[in-house]
Chain A
């Protein structure tokens, strides 16, 4: 009987998994490049059309610099006569923001997971806590920033000094925890009744059920939640940097460069590219985590 059954599990002769994935990856890259090329063409087309007829928006070189001006802008000195180029300044600001966002992401994911575990374990917590979790996201970020800075500045725990960088990180984590807690809660509730009965029949403890069943079966939910959390942490960091006035990050840089558009119109766009790069790096980190975490799961079961 093993013989006929075995046919279904026999190794197939089609291209190996890694070859197939590499090919899919290359195609993905090609499409992404095509998208970028299309965006550039559209941008220049709009500018060109703007020179012929009047468009309901300004397409002047100050508001919409040419793509090549932007590229050239990378190499310009940040301020007249300085050694650092705009690209270098943007890169170091992006790195600064990335580290804050990473901190916010880690805290947010940790808090979100903990909340989900508590809400899953105790039904009254879910009923009591979930409305607050949802309500927390309706508070406008702009209103939150001064509040947190205000409270944070009064925090003193011995040698620990609050800095406004922590306020930014806190706001980033405040945005990041929400998708995580909601996604993780759904994931922890994902096991089938049969799987739960099976664990009960083994007289498994709640902790064993959490680690050996609920947590592994929540992975397909955790990973997309983490992607949303990472994006939220990045956006939270950039916006919080602006509203708390923290220097050194990409958010502040965008504001500063925006003031200089008359002199160096391409500068602000370089900063925006920095913010985009920041988001891409964050997304890449989470994708790497995804590949690692779901390496043992059937590929069609998760996005």
Chain B
């Protein structure tokens, strides 16, 4: 993991620590010495039990929280600068759409904050709603939409400024299984159309395997990367979910989560 940061690297984190309440009795090491490089156009999933720091790592990359130690480069610039320059788009478990705006105006929000002129941002928003197949709902209010549709609006919004990187924090976590699988296909299609790099936080092993090029396995107390499982399933389609290779990868990730070989990690498996 000692690849030097360059512009062909989407994200490069080196020696990242995040310690909450450092020096106090309630000190928690949320991230311990994280090294991670995400290539341009790569799909990476962060997986691990609650408290393993996967969301914290995502938020450090997004510059929503500062690392205690270490450096994070996004698209070749420090994370703080990347946030200022809108080098990434973000999606959360809650779609976090604004009720008082129409669907289209929700997608326009990041463009509005960047000072885009009205007609250009409306055109861009419609283009994105087209992509997530919600153009017909442009004038609806968010609360009139189902959970899956809301999440698609949120994805369209995260793509608005056309950032090279998407950071997604369990975006499908609140959806039912059927919707979830449809959304996964949708996301892969969008990725193919746009060539974005994606870092995706999830609790679900099949989801991580289905979506990713590499699955980063994390472990709690202290939060750290214990394994990185490469996934090689080629082009994804509905058959992929039933393929032998898929189940093998699922098993590989599950074993990595249990910490095969590592006794200390195995002892924690019960908490998963």
Inter-chain contact B92/A194, CB cutoff 8 Å: yes
B83 adjacent to A1 (CB under 8 Å)? no
A interface secondary structure, majority: helix
27 pairs across A/B with beta carbons < 8 Å?
A: A1-B182, A1-B186, A2-B136, A5-B146, A5-B148, A9-B144, A9-B146, A195-B96, A197-B64, A197-B92, A198-B92, A201-B62, A201-B64, A201-B83, A201-B89, A202-B114, A203-B83, A203-B84, A204-B113, A208-B113, A212-B98, A212-B113, A213-B98, A219-B100, A296-B99, A297-B100, A298-B141
Q: Name the 8 nearest CB pairs between A and B, nearest first.
A: A298-B143, A201-B90, A194-B96, A216-B100, A8-B146, A296-B100, A1-B182, A2-B133
Residues of chain B within 8 A (CB-CB) of A201 are 62, 64, 83, 88-90
Point out the residues of chain B lying under 8 angstroms from A200, CB to CB.
Answer: 64, 83
**15 further interface pairs, Cβ-Cβ under 8 Å (given A5-B145, A203-B84):** A1-B133, A1-B148, A2-B133, A9-B137, A198-B96, A199-B113, A201-B90, A202-B113, A208-B113, A212-B112, A212-B113, A219-B100, A296-B99, A296-B101, A298-B99
Query: Once the chains are docked, how many angstroms separate the CA of A18 from the CA of B158?
Result: 36
Determine which of A2, A199, A204 lies in contact with B134 in the assembled complex, contact meaning CB atoms within 8 Å: A2
Query: B98's contact among A2, A9, A204, A216, by CB below 8 Å, is which?
Result: A216
Task: Assess whether A9 is in contact with B140, with CB atoms less than 8 Å apart.
Answer: yes
Residues of B within 8 A of A202 (CB): 86, 109-110, 113-114
Cα(A128)–Cα(B20), bound, Å = 28
Number of interface residues of A (CB under 8 A): 27
Chain B contact patch, size range: 35 or more
B204 contacts the other chain (CB 8 A) = no
Q: Does A19 sit within 8 A of B, measured CB to CB?
A: no
For A51, the chain B residues whose CB sits under 8 A away are none
User: Given that A201-B88, A298-B143 are contacting pairs, would A5 and B99 also be in contact in the complex, using a CB cutoff of 8 Å?
Assistant: no
Within the assembled complex, what's the spacing in Å between the Cα atoms of A220 and B155? Answer: 27
Interface residues of B in 92-135 (CB under 8 A from A): 92-94, 96, 98-101, 109-110, 112-114, 133-134
Min CB gap B6→A, angstroms: 24
Q: Which residues of A contact B149 (CB under 8 A)?
A: 5, 8-9
Name the B residues within 8 Å of A8 (CB-CB). 144-146, 149
Chain B residues in 8 Å Cβ range of A219: 100
A212 contacts which of B99, B109, B134, B143 (Cβ < 8 Å)? B109
Q: Which residues of chain B are within 8 angstroms of A5 by Cβ–Cβ distance? A: 145-146, 148-149
Q: CB-CB < 8 A to B89: which residues of A?
A: 201
Nearest A residue to B85, CB-CB: A203
Residues of A within 8 A of B141 (CB): 296, 298
Q: Contacts of A195 on B, CB cut-off 8 Å?
A: 96, 98
In the complex formed, the residue of A with least CB distance to B137 is A9
Interface centre among A201, A203, A204 (most CB of B within 10 A): A201
Check B99 against A301 for contact (C-beta < 8 Å): yes
- For residue A204, which residue of chain B has the nearest CB? B113
Q: How far is the CA of A296 from the CA of B106 in the complex (A)?
A: 13
